[in-house]
Structure 1
Amino acid sequence: MTTGHGTIFRTLHQPGNPFILANAWDVGSALMLQGMGAKAIATSSAALAFTLGTRDMGHITRDQSLAHAQDLIAAVNVPVSGDFENGFGEDPDTCAETVRMAGEIGLAGICIEDTALPADTAYAFDLAVERIRAASDAARGLNKDFFLVARADGVLTGKYDVEEAIRRLQAFEAAGADGLYTPTPANPKDLARICASVTRPVNVLAAGPCTKLTISEFAKAGAARISLGSALARATHRMIRDIGVDMLENGDFSALGKSISGDAVENLMF
């Protein structure tokens, strides 16, 4: 990955003209998504946890996340962004250090959320803002362009409402975040409110009610980026479960005949 990927990544973020940030879980999935036209790749903490046979939400270490991101960066020719949970620590200085380490390995940006992992409680407002301010200062201190996204996750976790999410996003913007993100707003109206409440680009997660929206509807709401989170990985694991039940419980292998050929996979990768 070249230093220019940070700038390329930033230019992709256009409110009202969203791009799909394709979350991969290994080199093969990243190469396939790139081969199908993804303009940028992201990691997913949950999807990585699946590959490691562990749990999400604070059980992946920073070293594991950085090593995984390095594998993807080395494999693809498009920008890569990191799902870096809560920055791997409560202290603002830890968030700043995480940004510096992410920049050093060649990531084009990362997300940092306001959840006190491994619990699902939200950081107090002032601490949440200070963490993003420290991360933003670190991003500006890098010798490359780096796109920092601040997440307000309380709507997702049920710890606060959309009004509090907007208050936090506006404070994160003032603290220097390049992009903002509130996963799983309840409806398109709330999504549009979130996008209109800030001037920086907004990421939307294709999950829950938002899976029913088309890309043109995301654009109308004002989104700049649509991420997949662990959804694509979970769809793959659903196939493993469903076909596994057919085979192991019913002795039925017919679903395997619906898979694509190895050549088709390789043609997307190479």
Structure 2
Amino acid sequence: MNRDQKFEAFKALHQQQGTAFVMPNPWDAGTARLLTHAGFQALATTSAGYAFAAGKRDSFASLSRDEILINAKAIVDATDLPVSADLEDGFGRDPTRCSQTIGMAIDIGLVGGSIEDATGDPDEPVLPIGLATDRIRAAAEAAKDRGFLLTGRAENFISGRPDLADTIKRLQAYAEAGADVLYAPGLPDIDAITTVCREVGKPVNVVMGLSGQAYSVPQLSAAGVRRISVGGSFARAALGALRRAAEEVMHQGTFTYAEAAIADGEMAALMDQTKQSDRS
């Protein structure tokens, strides 16, 4: 699919009625290929997963816009599926910075992306709603008629402000400002998820795999969710398997972990088959 076709396919997934689609989060080109082969219909980047792979903490202070977009481009190039991106806070407080980030995301082939309202400052964990909305409005203007679905994120529940009323107010403001999809990570239970889906007028994304109760796709679909992501949880699951393998070898001197590993031949078949032209 070309980029326009990817966008139309991605948009259509959000318009499905009754069943939410799962959009998992690869953290590099290899995991993008594996998840594509698994049969998913769209992918999304994860700043957390990328940060872990780069040996960094997932935070505004650790990750630059350039490296996030380079990683996203590698994922776009590794799959024929639509790819959305975790664009953190837009990489700047000013609305103009968010607008620039969206333009750069479109230029590398992304068909969606999210802008969040977290600050990383414990004294002011989320931006004032007016500024946060202005940032979404600027991002939406940059995305307008360019084949890009913008997700507005309200970060209250993962920023130490478990305020459902304010979260809904923010999501409604982001929808009015032009966000196509709405997302409030860390909602505490299915009742809160149902309430958010009922009170906002755009498709809602919910993340699974974090702390708290794990709801199924049918349960989330019944609550009104349109899209489900996994954030950095697939990356943490893979790193958990790595640590268990390392501890087995280090402390037991055995190698039974290899029984659960993907076969080398299967991995080879999933990866890029292009040969370097300068190799004889």
Counterpart CA distance in 2 for 1:227 and 1:96 is 24
> How big is the shift at 1:255?
1.9
| Alignment match of 1:95 (pick from 95, 98, 116) | 98
Q: Unmatched 5+ residue regions in structure 2?
A: 273-280
Conserved? CA contact 2:42–2:83, under 8 Å: yes
Q: Which amino acid aligns with 1:83?
A: D
Counterpart position of 1:7: 8
Counterpart CA distance in 2 for 1:210 and 1:27 is 29
TM-score by length of 1: 0.94
- Report whether the alignment pairs 1:105 with 2:108: yes
- CA displacement, residues 89-115 of structure 1 (integer Å, 9 cap, x when unaligned): 100110011011111111001011101
> How big is the shift at 1:249?
2.5
Counterpart CA distance in 1 for 2:154 and 2:171 is 7
- Which of 184-193 and 153-162 deviates more? 153-162
Q: Which amino acid aligns with 1:260?
A: I
> How big is the shift at 1:209?
6.2
Counterpart CA distance in 1 for 2:99 and 2:25 is 24
Counterpart CA distance in 1 for 2:121 and 2:238 is 25
Counterpart position of 1:134: 138
Counterpart position of 2:248: 246
Counterpart position of 2:175: 173
> How big is the shift at 1:173?
0.5
- CA displacement, residues 50-87 of structure 1 (integer Å, 9 cap, x when unaligned): 11111101111110011111111111101011101101
Counterpart CA distance in 1 for 2:30 and 2:104 is 24
Identity %: 36
> How big is the shift at 1:156?
1.5
> How big is the shift at 1:128?
0.8
Conserved? CA contact 2:41–2:81, under 8 Å: yes
Q: Which has the higher contact order (CA 8 A, sep 6+)?
A: 1
Conserved? CA contact 1:187–1:209, under 8 Å: no
Q: Unmatched 5+ residue regions in structure 1?
A: none
Conserved? CA contact 1:16–1:218, under 8 Å: no
Counterpart position of 1:47: 49
> How big is the shift at 1:269?
4.7
Q: CA RMSD in A?
A: 1.7
SS in 1 for 2:219: helix
- Report whether the alignment pairs 1:121 with 2:125: yes
Counterpart CA distance in 2 for 1:39 and 1:139 is 22
- CA displacement, residues 143-175 of structure 1 (integer Å, 9 cap, x when unaligned): x31100000011122224111100100010011
SS in 2 for 1:77: coil
Q: Which amino acid aligns with 1:169?
A: L
- Report whether the alignment pairs 1:83 with 2:79: no
| Alignment match of 1:202 (pick from 201, 204, 208) | 204
Decide whether aligned partners of structure 1 residues 135 and 112 sit closer, same or farther in structure 2, where only a CA change above 3 A counts. same
Conserved? CA contact 1:192–1:221, under 8 Å: yes
TM-score by length of 2: 0.91
Conserved? CA contact 2:49–2:232, under 8 Å: yes
